[in-house]
Amino acid sequence: MRRNWFLCLLVTVTLMVSLGDSLKQVWGQAKQKEAVVVTQPGEAASLSLVNQAEAKQLSQGKLAVPAIGEGAKPDDRTLLQVLERDPVVPAHVQGRVLILYDAVAGSATEKFGLAYAIMLSNLLGHFNAQVNLLPIDRYTAGAVELYQATFYLGSHYDNQIPAAFLQDVRRTNRTVVWFKNNLWQFAWNANYDFVGRYGFTFTGMRGFDARPSAENPQPGFFDTITYKSLPFVKFYSYDAAANVAYADPEMGIAPVLDAAKARVWLTATHSATGETTPYVIRSGQFWYVADIPFSFIGPRDRYVAFCDLLHDMLRQPHRENHRALIRLEDVSAKVEPTSFRQLVNYLSNQDIPFSVALIPTYRDAFGVNNNGAPETIELAQATNLLSAAKYARQRGGSLVMHGHTHQYNSLPNPVGATGTDWEFWDAPNNAPVQGDSQALMLRRIDAGLTALRAQGLLPFAWETPHYQGSPLTYRAAQKRFDVKYERGTYYTADRPKLAEGDYAVPQFFPYLINEDFYGQRVIPENLGNVVYSQGAATAASRNKALPAVCGQRTSLSQTDSLRLSHSVRRSLAGNHFALYENARYAWVVRDGFASFFFHPYLLRADSGVPALADLKVLIDGIEKLGYEWKAASSLTDGN
């Protein structure tokens, strides 16, 4: 199945759109503690949440704590440890999170910040947070005190930050995390004594070393973020013909000046010069992230590292728990029984639980797969599909409903056939289907559910065809399914007009999301799928033919499979090693998954590819990494 991940952030060489990051602060204060001023000889006073006894011990050099960080002096590490001590959060704000974002009225990117805020709110769903989203210009004094955490997503360069917010950040006893832009309004204002308080400074933004061009197609920038000894490389691609660079190169430069008050959690490296700069800094309960980890995301991007870092920012240290999932995709009336049973037998014999994504009704509106004769096969007459579903269930398989027809009526979307087409999105026009409504989408979902239930087939989860439906489709699906098993696409309006300022942002998750923006629990798929493609050039040309809007673009070198149609003839080697690498990177997430899907038709005798052998290599590799196979149907609650 081709996954529609064409929604991308376009960065031209003549105008780099400044993207916002998030400011999150979780700084609770225990009732029995008092805020006191702690000073070091020759330094400005620094406000810290320590009690009187600790302050006295610090001043006498008697407080012994474990050393942390590199390059800090022993006595500096002592103070830093106290500054980073997790305070008790008052009960009335526990779990409450505020996301502030830029929304500059009349600008071309007015809803850009909202798109990123939605992505962040989805990740916070992993932590059962109660999230409020609010434009920064509507911030009111004292609001940070009503939340355990506040995030600021500064997506608009030099957007004016309300003075009330800056003053509250300086005085609050909560935690704040600030992403990328506009920190200079805080750090360069002498009234806030930024360096004296936080121990680091801000010198400015830095992007490409030079303008990308045909003569210089690879200008350097800080593109590699190291986390848990792995290099997470930011996406970059230059189209010489269009003179367009696809990238988010800008990064805030924030040197640490006082290791007693601030430390670097992650470092970014400039691949051309070898320079390094802090990527994530923590000072007490104040965090700064130097860019937006939601642009151009992929399975080996710094987004994955940030997903794990959220545990520390939110002070929810979930236990290490690495699980693996496999889903058999696009199983319809045209399933080939022999190859399907061969695949099921292999998984069953290996004691690997699996899911099967069923398409209840097969429809080929224009006969593209039937010599020009239109064809419809209802579930009751789909003998091979019914047999396959029964066979899978008897061997430990669980069922997922993968749309109703996986195509939309007689709309060439693009060809009108089940498995190839979108069902809940007009892909050629990059818009909701004509007449889109919750009622219309519910009728389609209910038709598929009714057919499945009539045959005794009960799906535990929903999967949107091609991982993209309209917002009203997602709201309709939520009325029938508490759980979905997929990546998602999220929109800045329920009736989005992508050509008029709205955005659609595709997003994958490395862990379970208890409730996403549309109210459903999400079981993740984060590795991609095994394909045998004709090369990245085919996928790239297909991507460029589609409208480009804000979102993520997954590197072709990582998951080119997500953009290739079923109809592409597989003639080259598979990408199973790329999926293994994705799983290796996903291991940095302490409760992350290695979750992928596989098409049974790849085992057909006429496929001409060693699909089963490659699948075995991938499964063996995932197991050797230490992942434990789980049934997706067992993950409908809990973390």
pLDDT in tens, 481-531: 999 999 999 999 999 999 999 999 999 999 999 999 999 999 999 999 999
pLDDT in tens, 514-528: 999 999 999 999 999
For residues 93, 99, 103, 109, the Cα torsion angle rounded to the nearest 10 degrees is -170
Q: What are phi and psi of 271, to 5 degrees?
A: -70, -25
Report the DSSP pairing between strands 521-523 and 483-485: parallel
Residues in CB range of 311: below 8 A, 6 or more apart: 127, 317, 318, 590
The closest alpha carbon to 21, from 252, 285, 301, 298, belongs to: 252
pLDDT in tens, 409-446: 999 999 999 999 999 999 999 999 999 999 999 999 99
Count CA within 13 A, CB hemisphere, residue 553: 26
What average pLDDT score do residues 127-155 get?
96
Dig out the tokens for 560 from the structure.
């080119």
Which of 47-61, 287-301, 399-413 has the lowest average pLDDT?
47-61
- Longest CA pairwise span in the chain (Å): 88
pLDDT exceeds cutoff 70 at 347: yes
Q: What pLDDT is recorded for position 75? A: 39
Amino acid, res. 606: D
Q: What pLDDT is recorded for position 57? A: 38
The closest alpha carbon to 26, from 172, 162, 127, belongs to: 172
User: Which one-letter DSSP state was computed for residue 91?
Assistant: G
Q: What pLDDT is recorded for position 638? A: 79
Dig out the tokens for 631 from the structure.
């049934």
Residues in CB range of 306: below 8 A, 6 or more apart: 289, 293
Q: How many degrees, rounded to 5, is the angle at CA 286 between CA 284 and CA 288?
A: 125
Strand partners, 594: 324
Q: What pLDDT is recorded for position 73? A: 36
Q: What pLDDT is recorded for position 88? A: 80
Contact 144, 93 (CB under 8 A): no
Helix H or strand E encompassing 61: none
- Using CB atoms within 10 A of its CB, is residue 349 exposed (0-12), middle (13-18) or buried (19+)? exposed
